[in-house]
Chains A and B, each alone.
Chain A
């Protein structure tokens, strides 16, 4: 600790250079944090997926419908505990940019299948009794300033009401929260019976099924059984674990993990060069001073540690500030709630970021530090004469 003032004074030597280096590192780690939050947002379905849940959809495409009657047939398959359906509604509130996921569901079965959506009892009762009742996640409710009792007009670009009207009205009866961090609180759910009765076409058809199985170890076998059950019909199914389904959905954007690694590798390599160059220059400029310190009795190891400490302080200042800023940005909410409903920086990624800060400081400072350590006193002092 007694050497810290010495490290600090050396950093103040070239204030502009140190500040610019810190700023570069800050931007790199801000980008890191932002991209991690983005990845989390795009892959949250994978991490939130239930191990005991399967998704059964039309074999050709997710946008093709399945008969509502499949539910009873699925529930008869050995190993299946329950099956619920959802249908993509594509709700728009007032303006096309105010888009959010909305689906008609059967309230009681839906709640049993997805306990991660937490709704107070009185709101559950209200939903069960009101045919045009809908519930919404806290994020969307706050986004639009909705409160319970409001009548919410929603347009659907897919589903028209009988008579050719695309405008639907729902009474907001509940606002749900998440049982765990990462639960998508942007969605809107309403009753299937109301939807099916009022829609102009596709009656008796649904989007996809979520199937709860009794033993997750039998997931693959049960998925095959479900698909076999509906094989050679006009509505063949493709069944897979919920996690795999979410992964496939996310990968429509591309392999997010690989993209993230590619971008961050380029950024960190550049930053490594910037920080390494700063440290190399800093050491080169004060060769004589390092020689004087060694002449006084500073050991080679202590000189190595001092240079590394400088490097670590620079990267820590920039890196931790960047991570902090990224955390603040993410905590402030999604920059695009319609397409990135869940947006936060997971603590795991913060820890990885802190690890990267340390690694960057170490690697950037290592070469100059070793040079400083190997510096011969007589040679260093002779440079001046």
Chain B
């Protein structure tokens, strides 16, 4: 599959200001970004440049101080907390640097978590979980707890959890940041395959040029602003 001209993510004039006591910290300043559907976008930049904050705004995990965020034609910045939670459950898959699996649940139970928010029956949930684990080639480790999985396997579980609801957008926050090169490559290949073969739109924050090379486009942030953004 290839990317279309349809814009899936549209961020307009986004500011994000954090307050620390009386001090104001401008993390994003008038940022504009468009991401077409089906793109695999890498967000790069030094620490504190606002990459993760931008990812949080796009994923509806945080709110912009000013500006608009539109995903698939929906203005998420004006949604209530409850609406936003429901929207995230339907449209967003998240992959974290440290996997963030629940240690008390097996891999399959971790993958099942987002499906608990749907109306699927137990049997249907099981089918979805099996399919997601198969995509990340982890069916044989389904009943293992995270502590018995390698870092790469845990991240693949995290990816299975992110894709199990077939979300519109996959957001990855330094998905290879805690992995060795070999495991990191496997994860990047998996993300690339999800993008190419299933048409998933992926936005990935990374420090690693090796990782960004796998993306279809890379944008750089510095001091809360995009340094380069070639036209999609």
Is there an interface contact between B89 and A297, defined as CB atoms closer than 8 Å? yes
Q: Could you tell me the distance between the alpha carbons of A3 and B114 in the complex, rounded to whole angstroms? A: 11
Q: Which residue of B lies closest to A377 (CB)?
A: B61
Q: Max chain A CB contacts within 10 Å: which of B53, B85, B88?
A: B85
Those of A133-148 within 8 Å (CB) of chain B: none
Task: Tell me the dominant secondary structure on chain B's binding face.
Answer: helix
Is there an interface contact between B100 and A288, defined as CB atoms closer than 8 Å? yes
Shortest Cβ distance from B42 into chain A, in angstroms?
A: 19
Is there an interface contact between A295 and B88, defined as CB atoms closer than 8 Å? yes
Is there an interface contact between B62 and A299, defined as CB atoms closer than 8 Å? no
Q: Which residue of A lies closest to B83 (CB)?
A: A299
Give the size range of A's interface with the partner: 20 to 34
A13: chain B residues within 8 A (beta carbon) = 103-104
A296: chain B residues within 8 A (beta carbon) = 88-89, 94, 113-114, 117, 161
B217: CB under 8 A from chain A? no
A16: CB under 8 A from chain B? no
Is there an interface contact between B62 and A377, defined as CB atoms closer than 8 Å? yes
Shortest Cβ distance from A354 into chain B, in angstroms?
A: 29
A205: CB under 8 A from chain B? no
Q: Max chain B CB contacts within 10 Å: which of A10, A292, A300?
A: A292
Those of A10-39 within 8 Å (CB) of chain B: 10, 12-13
A5: CB under 8 A from chain B? yes
Task: Tell me the dominant secondary structure on chain A's binding face.
Answer: helix
Shortest Cβ distance from A195 into chain B, in angstroms?
A: 72
Is there an interface contact between A299 and B82, defined as CB atoms closer than 8 Å? yes
Shortest Cβ distance from A284 into chain B, in angstroms?
A: 16
Q: Could you tell me the distance between the alpha carbons of A301 and B83 in the complex, rounded to whole angstroms? A: 12
Q: Could you tell me the distance between the alpha carbons of A85 and B149 in the complex, rounded to whole angstroms? A: 83
Is there an interface contact between B117 and A297, defined as CB atoms closer than 8 Å? yes
Is there an interface contact between A298 and B104, defined as CB atoms closer than 8 Å? no
A384: chain B residues within 8 A (beta carbon) = 98, 100
Q: Which residue of B lies closest to A380 (CB)?
A: B61
Q: Give a binary string over A354-385; 1 marks a CB under 8 Å from any B CB, 0 the rest.
A: 00000000000000000000001110010011
Q: Give a binary string over A116-136; 1 marks a CB under 8 Å from any B CB, 0 the rest.
A: 000000000000000000000
Shortest Cβ distance from B104 into chain A, in angstroms?
A: 4
B29: CB under 8 A from chain A? no
Q: Which residue of A lies closest to B93 (CB)?
A: A296
B97: chain A residues within 8 A (beta carbon) = 385
Q: Which residue of A lies closest to B161 (CB)?
A: A296
Those of B80-115 within 8 Å (CB) of chain A: 81-82, 85-90, 92, 94, 96-98, 100, 102-105, 109, 113-114
A2: CB under 8 A from chain B? yes
Is there an interface contact between A5 and B109, defined as CB atoms closer than 8 Å? yes
Q: Give a binary string over A278-301; 1 marks a CB under 8 Å from any B CB, 0 the rest.
A: 000000000011001111111111
Is there an interface contact between A292 and B96, defined as CB atoms closer than 8 Å? yes
Shortest Cβ distance from A155 into chain B, in angstroms?
A: 66
B56: CB under 8 A from chain A? yes
Task: Give me 6 other A-B pairs in contact (C-beta within 8 A), A292-B100, A297-B88 excluded.
Answer: A9-B109, A288-B100, A289-B100, A377-B62, A381-B100, A385-B52
A to B CB contacts below 8 Å, 17 in the list: A5-B109, A6-B113, A9-B104, A9-B105, A288-B100, A289-B100, A296-B94, A296-B117, A297-B87, A297-B88, A297-B89, A297-B90, A297-B92, A297-B117, A378-B53, A378-B56, A378-B62
